[in-house]
Amino acid sequence: MHFADRLVEAVERSGSSLCVGLDPDPALMPRGVEVVEFCRGIVDAVAGLAAAVKPQAAFFEALGPDGWAALAEVCAYAREAGLLVIADGKRGDIGSTATAYAAAFAPIADAVTVNAYLGRDSLEPFLARDGLGVFCLVKTSNPGSGDLQDVALADGTLLWQHVAALVREWGDDLVGESGLSRLGAVVGATYPREVAHARELMPRSVFLLPGVGAQGGRPEELRAAFAPGPAGALVSASRSVIYAYRERGGDWRQAAAEEAARLAGEVRAVAVA
């Protein structure tokens, strides 16, 4: 089933346009809790409060040989809990290699993040996977994102706007029954002006908006992203939710649930307005 259509369903079911990022960092996790146990606990805590989770491949790879098994187990557990899974790997490579990445991620995730620096043919193997959601990096949330993405082009636009135009063009054939394309865009919540502009450039793409919480992005500035409706965007927070116990104290699962509920409420206020 088409990713955007599944997302519409998941947002309706949960009443939430929140995505919780799973960045399991042993330095920040509660002592004595293993990575898989931690991620399962977070999934239990946020199921019903979020539409999706976004496991970050890097933190699983950093575990060494057992990392990929842990990632697959966490993804399966989240899907059983009714959450969509966006595997955040930001992969991008030549066709034959991208085919191997797609083979690695498609069986365990509902959507993936990709980097389009290598061009259209590097995305093709992901787009060719039936129903798979693909979020292309457009304007990222980090401070240095402007080094390349804000470079001025000869036509008067910026590089990220050129990428946005390509995402629109490439995604036009991938629109589901909901009217949304399964080729989406990553746009940093830390750049609200760009989010609004990106929505004009890509009217039918689902936006994945990371950078809320630890990175400083605020849901109330992201209203424009939801122009197509509550499933038009997913506001994604990682550290501020999964490590909420470090601020709030108490049980780490309870703290994550409370912070997810609080944030989901804030997001809902702009998503359904």
Q: State the catalytic residues.
A: 90
Give which of 209, 74, 61, 49 is closest to 135, Cα–Cα. 209
Q: Which stretch binds a second copy (CB under 8 A): 11-19, 62-70, 197-205, 218-226?
A: 62-70
Q: Which stretch binds a second copy (CB under 8 A): 102-110, 223-231, 241-249, 256-264?
A: 102-110
Among 12, 121, 172, 177, binds a second copy (CB under 8 A): 121
Minimum CB distance to a second copy smaller for 239 or for 262: 239
Please tell me whether residue 246 binds a second copy under the rule CB under 8 A.
no
Calculate the CA dihedral of residues 99, 104, 106, 112 and round it to 10 degrees.
-90
Q: How far apart are CA 113 and CA 52, in angstroms?
A: 14
Q: In sequence order, what DSSP letters do the residues of 235-253 get, joined into one string?
A: EEE-HHHHTTHHHH-S-HH
Provide the mask over 160-189, with x wherever binding to a second copy is found by CB under 8 A and - wherever it is not.
--xx--x-----------------------
Q: In sequence order, what DSSP letters do the residues of 175-206 get, joined into one string?
A: B-TTS-EEEEEEE-TT-HHHHHHHHHH-TTEE
Please tell me whether residue 128 binds a second copy under the rule CB under 8 A.
no
Minimum CB distance to a second copy smaller for 144 or for 273: 144
Q: At what angle do helices 252-271 and 35-46 cross, to 10 degrees?
A: 40
Please tell me whether residue 141 binds a second copy under the rule CB under 8 A.
yes
Burial grade of 173 (CB within 10 A; 0-12, 13-18, 19 or more): exposed
Please tell me whether residue 144 binds a second copy under the rule CB under 8 A.
yes
Give which of 238, 272, 204 is closest to 29, Cα–Cα. 238
Please tell me whether residue 98 binds a second copy under the rule CB under 8 A.
yes
Q: Which stretch binds a second copy (CB under 8 A): 12-20, 156-164, 228-236, 243-251?
A: 156-164
Q: From the CB of 15, what's the least distance to a second copy, in Å?
A: 29
Among 33, 72, 81, 261, binds a second copy (CB under 8 A): 72
Q: Which stretch binds a second copy (CB under 8 A): 1-9, 78-86, 109-117, 175-183?
A: 109-117
Please tell me whether residue 117 binds a second copy under the rule CB under 8 A.
yes
Residue 48's SS3 state is coil
Q: From the CB of 80, what's the least distance to a second copy, in Å?
A: 18
Calculate the CA dihedral of residues 94, 97, 103, 106 and round it to 10 degrees.
-40
Q: How far apart are CA 112 and CA 186, in angstroms?
A: 11
Please tell me whether residue 251 binds a second copy under the rule CB under 8 A.
no
Q: How far apart are CA 48 and CA 77, in angstroms?
A: 14
Residues that bind a second copy (CB under 8 A): 23, 25, 56, 58-59, 61-62, 64-69, 72, 90-98, 100-101, 103-105, 115-122, 137, 140-149, 151-156, 159, 162-163, 166, 215, 239
